[in-house]
Amino acid sequence: MIERTKLPKRFLSRIFRACRVLTGFILTSILAAVPFGTAAQDVRAPSKAEIVAARELCFQGDYQGAASRFAEMARKYPESPAGEFYQAVTLIWKSYVDAVSLASGTRTFDAELESLLEGVVAKAEAQRTRANKSTQDEVEALYFLGSAAGARARASFFQNRAIPAAKLARTAQDYFDELLKLDANFWDGYYAPGNIYYAVGLVTDTPVGKVATTVVGQKSLPTGDLARGLSYLKTAAEKSPVTGVDAKLALLQSYTLNENRFEEALVLARDLQAKYPGNQTFARYLLRIYSGLKDRVKLTQTAQQILAAVKDGKPNFGAFMKAEAERYLAEAGKL
């Protein structure tokens, strides 16, 4: 029978301490061996929460604040396309301020927009070719590549450059088709293709669309599908954490400017205006909707609220909005 040897307490204490140190060393070694893209991924790209918080400033009408946040994001995460891309998106939203056309905005920021999107494409392509990239890396790279192509197509279309617009829109659709095959539940991936399907569906039978079809050829053109476009936009509006408000604005534009579905537009516009009272774009849509519905009382009330915001000197409620409100107020008096 083997006798048990009693070890001194001091000796046991040293053994336990040594075990703790060894365990810590082993855990550290294991964590260090974890592939890049799990624990290290937060260092490489901004979180959805960071992006959403900055985008909220844009929706509130604080375009400078949003742009500054995204510029800082680009510096903090130099490998990620997110900072430059959402700076570009902020410029698109800013272009709606005081724009005569509610749908197209102004062309004031086109050069800056293009410069930012060039950076987005370069970083997204680098992300796609990164060694040991994950499926999520591929999905996000496709998202930024498709979104950048879509934004460029939009700019080209409103610059009356039909052929480049068509080619870029088709490129965007191809990227998003690939993305949604990889991850059909990547909800932010439904907004841009939804916009493209709908917009192309609108122009297919216009002179611009016919010229594009003749010069480029049907196989190189993007697909137009109004129903599919609206379906994608509804999906994004309901489920997308980052592009949900963008999708709601796109639906608002479609219902108000193209579909004459003013009742459905009103639900969206009221919700957006209640949540973001400082955003003049939503206020302008309310004016347009109440005019379409021929609701004299609500049109008058909304115009007066805008004039009060102008009087109070609220940002983005200047001379242009004053003239818009007065024009609709005069229209209300004739209903």
Q: Nearest 5°: phi and psi at 278?
A: -85, 0
- The more confident residue out of 199 and 32 is 199
Task: Return d(Cα 172, Cα 175) in angstroms, integer.
Answer: 5
**pLDDT of the residue at 218:** 59
User: What DSSP designation does 294 have?
Assistant: T
Domain region containing 285:
260-335
Cα 146 off chain centre by: 12
> Residue 18: pLDDT above 50?
no
Task: Return d(Cα 125, Cα 143) in angstroms, integer.
Answer: 11
> Residue 17: pLDDT above 80?
no
> Residue 275: pLDDT above 90?
yes
**pLDDT of the residue at 174:** 97
What integer is the mean pLDDT of 220-239? 94
The first and second tokens of residue 66, run together, are 């949003």
Q: Within a 10 A sphere around the Cβ of 294, how many other Cβ atoms?
A: 11
Is residue 116 in a domain?
Answer: no
Is residue 277 in a domain?
Answer: yes
**pLDDT of the residue at 37:** 35
Contacts for 26-30: CB closer than 8 Å, 24+ residues apart: none
Is residue 318 in a domain?
Answer: yes
**pLDDT of the residue at 43:** 67
Local structure of 125: helix, strand or coil = helix
Is residue 266 in a domain?
Answer: yes
Please check whether residue 189 is in contact with residue 150, taking contact to mean a CB–CB distance below 8 angstroms. Answer: no
Task: Give the pTM.
Answer: 0.83
Q: In this predicted model, what pLDDT tens digit does every residue of 279-331 receive, in sequence order?
A: 999 999 999 999 999 999 999 999 999 999 999 999 999 999 999 999 999 99
Is residue 268 in a domain?
Answer: yes
Q: CA–CA distance from 99 to each of 169, 316, 320 (Å)? A: 24, 11, 9
Which residue's structure tokens are 């003749």? 214
CATH of the domain at 295: 1.25.40
Task: Return d(Cα 5, Cα 178) in angstroms, integer.
Answer: 69
Is residue 222 in a domain?
Answer: no
**pLDDT of the residue at 215:** 63
User: What DSSP designation does 219 have?
Assistant: G
Sign of the CA dihedral with 138 first, then 139, 144, and 145 last: positive
Is residue 172 in a domain?
Answer: no
**pLDDT of the residue at 203:** 84
Domain count within the chain: 1
Q: In this predicted model, what pLDDT tens digit does every residue of 315-329 receive, in sequence order?
A: 999 999 999 999 999
Q: How confident is the model at residue 133 (pLDDT cuts 50, 70, 90)?
A: confident
Is residue 301 in a domain?
Answer: yes
Local structure of 157: helix, strand or coil = helix
Q: How confident is the model at residue 267 (pLDDT cuts 50, 70, 90)?
A: very high
Q: How confident is the model at residue 132 (pLDDT cuts 50, 70, 90)?
A: confident
Average pLDDT over the chain reads 87
